[in-house]
Amino acid sequence: MSIRSIGTAVPPTVLEQPRVAELFSQQPGTSRLAQRLIASAFGASAIDRRHTVIPELDGEARPDPVFVDVAAGSILSPSTGTRNEVYVREVRPLLREAAEAAIAAASGLERGDITHVITVSCTGFMAPGPEYLLVRDLGLAPSTRRLHVGFMGCYGAFPALRAAVSTCVAEPDAVVLIVCVELCSLHLRTSEDPDTIVASSVFADGAAAAIVSARPAPAGETVLDVDRLDTTLTATGEAEMAWTIGDLGFEMVLSNAVPRILEEQIDEALRPLLEAGSSSPPEEGWAAIRHWAIHPGGRAILDRVQRALDLTDRQLAPSREILRSYGNMSSATVLFILQRILTGSENDPEPELDPAPDASDRVLAVAFGPGLTVESGLFTRRVVS
């Protein structure tokens, strides 16, 4: 079972982090303490820019503003229904763009080969859902089987991968298209609550698609073999991360205790991946894993996980680069990182991918979400011979 390709898409409006921090800190009634919290959260985020489906955030005044009154310098408070209406409108082109990119990158496969579609999103609701729209917009057969994974948070790509793998085991000729799409910026809001300020400093919009199949790939194609997928709940932290629906948008709880909890428990949470198929972990431990795709829930999470697992700066480079350039796009983010590892990138600060990696070129991906839930996967990056 392999991930044959990954494609990504982001909306055109770019949020430059210093400008957004200034907008939030200058809101009427913001206390000096909140201004300091905003400056600290945005300044320490390790994010340069993000993308959004809200054009008003580009700083240009528009008639009848919904999210930002640029002329007044005010962030507005649209209802959850209004935010969801924008989700329904804006999610469709991103879904298709990411899917088309993945299809184009899947050598030896065509859109007519796709038998199953799985979509993932936690930032909006609609029915017919995103998976329905994809079947229609891609011109797939009406009999294409569909599944939507909803409201699972930043780790949502992993349940989708697990469903794709199970499908391919049951139906060896299956070709499964997964698309994660998140419009997190629809739920930005002003607040003096530290959790809300942190959320406003990191979340962004984007989509990522992956094609999974057990069909043999053409010689010379680079793939990610899916070796094992795992899930666990941390012993503590259930109340430290949550995603709920409020009257003025979806509300994030993202406690500053999350990085500490992950640092304390990440080794135990990931250990089953090393132990799979063996009576004891390999002697080299985490050193056996060359490439890491760690969901950048925030800079502190990356720092703490790196310290707990004794990872090098080079191993964290893909995760930090995605955080710097795109922010936290919830479920889509880990696929952005895996795409870097699968294909390499001229933009990576320290590219280290061999042109023909051998079977020991292991990849470990992990994402975190409400619960605290830790979802992870072990992969082998290889060139098909």
Helices (H) and strands (E) in the chain — how many of each? 10, 15
CA 188 – CA 250 distance, rounded (Å): 9
CA 264 – CA 380 distance, rounded (Å): 27
Q: Is the dihedral of CA 262, 300, 260, 156 positive or negative?
A: negative
Q: Is the dihedral of CA 13, 18, 24, 27 positive or negative?
A: negative
Tokens of 336: 């952005």
CA 120 – CA 363 distance, rounded (Å): 22
CB neighbour list of residue 243: distance below 8 Å, 6 or more residues apart: 122, 151, 153, 250, 251, 252, 253, 370
Beta bridge partners of 117: 146, 177
| Secondary structure, 3-state, 77-124 | CCCHHHHHHHHHHHHHHHHHHHHHHHHHHCCCCCHHHCCEEEEEECCC
CA 266 – CA 304 distance, rounded (Å): 9
> What local confidence, expressed as pLDDT, does residue 284 receive?
63
pLDDT per position in the chain (385 positions), as tens?
A: 999 999 999 999 999 999 999 999 999 889 999 999 999 999 999 999 999 999 999 888 888 999 999 988 899 999 999 999 999 999 999 999 999 999 999 999 999 999 999 999 999 999 999 999 999 999 999 999 999 999 999 999 999 999 999 999 999 999 999 999 999 999 999 989 888 899 899 999 999 999 999 999 999 999 999 999 999 999 988 888 889 999 999 998 888 899 999 999 999 999 888 776 444 444 567 877 999 999 999 999 999 999 999 999 999 999 999 999 999 999 999 999 999 999 975 344 444 444 444 444 899 999 999 989 999 999 999 999 8
Quickly tell me which residue has 């993945």 as its tokens: 102
CA 200 – CA 96 distance, rounded (Å): 27
> What local confidence, expressed as pLDDT, does residue 375 receive?
97
